[in-house]
Amino acid sequence: MKNNQPTIIVIIGISGDLSRRKLLPALAQISAAGELPYECRIVGITRQYDLLLSDVLTHVEKAKDIEGMIEFWNMELDKKDAYEKLGKHLKEIERGFTSPAQRLFYLSVPPQISRPIIELLGESGLASAPNTKLLLEKPFGVDFESAQELANHVDHYFLSDQVYRIDHYLAKETAQNLVVFRQDNSLFKRTWNKDFIESVNIIASEKIGIEGRSIFYEQTGALRDLVQSHLLQLTALILMELPSGRNFAEIPARRLAALNSLRLKGRVEENVIRGQYRGYQSEVKNHGSHVETFVSLTLESDDERFINVPIVLTTGKALAFKETKIIISYKRNENHESNQLILHLQPDEGVELCLFAKRPGYEHQVERHPLKFSFGEYYSRLPEAYEQVLFDAINSNHTLFASSEEVLASWRILDSIQKTWAMNNNDLLIYEPGSKIEQIIDKKN
């Protein structure tokens, strides 16, 4: 439900890529849908004195719906008095409202800059002002220890219910739909366990490379970029116990329990494949870089509902095509065929169920056929994940945000991989850009 409390959204880093490509377009859509609070201002923090509104709104489809709300505020991000001045300015804006405003600080900045900003928001008193929220983007650390340290840093200045850790995959329509799908289809609800499911595969294949993000990617790699966050959150949605009734507020705790049940299956050397696309090293100007742009690994859960069900997570850049999907393979029957339920997240969000049917004719031949449902065929427009993220943060709904405990649990799952990789680089496979996932996996076998 729409929150009509006056709202100030402070985007720290308004001129950055995330803000231009995702946040401002999302805010414009929410505004066009009439779902922004009636009294709403967007304060864009920037160090650029000559920044033009037309420049940051270049990619914004419904720019007219927000341009009147936006103002820029120039400040140095490393000076405490700059935050105090900002605080005074926010109070001035508030004086024009009919009642006190909530303030959302969206940190749309590189990770190394987030830390001091959090500290200065705290030291300047902005963090403890009533109705203040902090929206954070990943990466939340680079391993368990650094994530723990970052979580402590945030906790030092903000209460946990002020903090919204964004994982935009949780806000994708099909990811949200997973709960409804599992809950409202008794056919799947009753068979969602080890007795019926043989394996779970989550695939996030990307056609793009690292798109100029050399510094970020050299410090990150596919495991930290996609697996620790997006793919493990999808895994949690698949494995978690369903909330009671429509009590969606229970979901973060259920996801956490699912993450806590997970561990790597077997040894890293046997069950984890990493690769790098040819040309990556010259792109990042680091010949000898061992950063992986592809990873595939197998997990298992000690939750008795899923014991012995392999969960395979695979992601890579510069692959043959863009496709994100979850494949639930059901147990095979005597003729070795297996039904599959495929939940498509991208490019066309939808659901596919693979069935077997007799091929018409005199011979008894069985063929696999898909039953397909695509959201695009029924709904003219699906909201972008960032629209949902911003709408929910404005409306204080934490369901689609990752808690610090979830972040830590997912780093714990990957801990042994990170430690093994830190000691040995011999297993890095080089693949050609445009490869298919199977071609890379075959190289290992």
Specify whether the CB–CB gap between 106 and 12 falls below 8 A.
Answer: yes
Residue 314 CB, nearest distance to ligand BG6 (Å)?
Answer: 14
Residue 43 CB, nearest distance to ligand BG6 (Å)?
Answer: 25
Q: By three-state DSSP, how is residue 92 classified?
A: helix
Q: By three-state DSSP, how is residue 441 classified?
A: helix
User: Which of the residues 263 through 322 are near ligand BG6 (CB under 6 A)?
Assistant: none
User: Which of the residues 177 through 206 are near ligand BG6 (CB under 6 A)?
Assistant: 206
Contact status: 124 vs ligand BG6 (CB under 6 A): no
**Residue position matching structure tokens 């000559």:** 50
Contact status: 225 vs ligand BG6 (CB under 6 A): yes
The nearer residue to ligand BG6, 122 or 275, going by C-beta atoms, is 275
User: Which of the residues 72 through 111 are near ligand BG6 (CB under 6 A)?
Assistant: none
Question: Is residue 230 flagged as an active site residue?
Answer: yes
The nearer residue to ligand BG6, 271 or 346, going by C-beta atoms, is 346
- The closest of 126, 102, 127, 131 to 41, measured between CA atoms, is 102
| Number of residues lying near ligand BG6 (CB under 6 A) | 4
Residue 309 CB, nearest distance to ligand BG6 (Å)?
Answer: 25
- Taking every pair of Cα atoms in the chain, the longest distance, rounded to a whole number of angstroms, is 84
**Residue position matching structure tokens 């696309």:** 277
Residue 34 CB, nearest distance to ligand BG6 (Å)?
Answer: 26
Amino acid identity of 16? G
Map residues 337-356 to x or -, x wherever contact with ligand BG6 holds by CB under 6 A: ---------x----------
Contact status: 324 vs ligand BG6 (CB under 6 A): yes
What's the rounded Cα separation, in Å, for the pair 80 and 112? 17
Quick one: CA dihedral 30, 31, 35, 38, positive or negative?
Answer: positive
The nearer residue to ligand BG6, 53 or 142, going by C-beta atoms, is 142
Contact status: 392 vs ligand BG6 (CB under 6 A): no
235 is written with which tokens? 């895994």
Specify whether the CB–CB gap between 136 and 165 falls below 8 A.
Answer: yes
Amino acid identity of 418? Q
The nearer residue to ligand BG6, 209 or 310, going by C-beta atoms, is 209
Residue 437 CB, nearest distance to ligand BG6 (Å)?
Answer: 15
Residue 284 CB, nearest distance to ligand BG6 (Å)?
Answer: 14
The nearer residue to ligand BG6, 314 or 339, going by C-beta atoms, is 314
What's the rounded Cα separation, in Å, for the pair 355 and 323? 22
What's the rounded Cα separation, in Å, for the pair 13 and 72? 10
Other Cβ atoms closer than 10 A to 252: 21
Q: Which single residue brings its beta carbon nearest to ligand BG6?
A: 225
Options 89, 153, 156, 230, the catalytic residue: 230
What's the rounded Cα separation, in Å, for the pair 344 and 370? 13
What's the rounded Cα separation, in Å, for the pair 292 and 301? 25
Contact status: 387 vs ligand BG6 (CB under 6 A): no
The nearer residue to ligand BG6, 225 or 406, going by C-beta atoms, is 225
* Residues annotated as part of the active site: 230
Task: Catalog residues that contact ligand BG6 under the rule CB under 6 A.
Answer: 206, 225, 324, 346
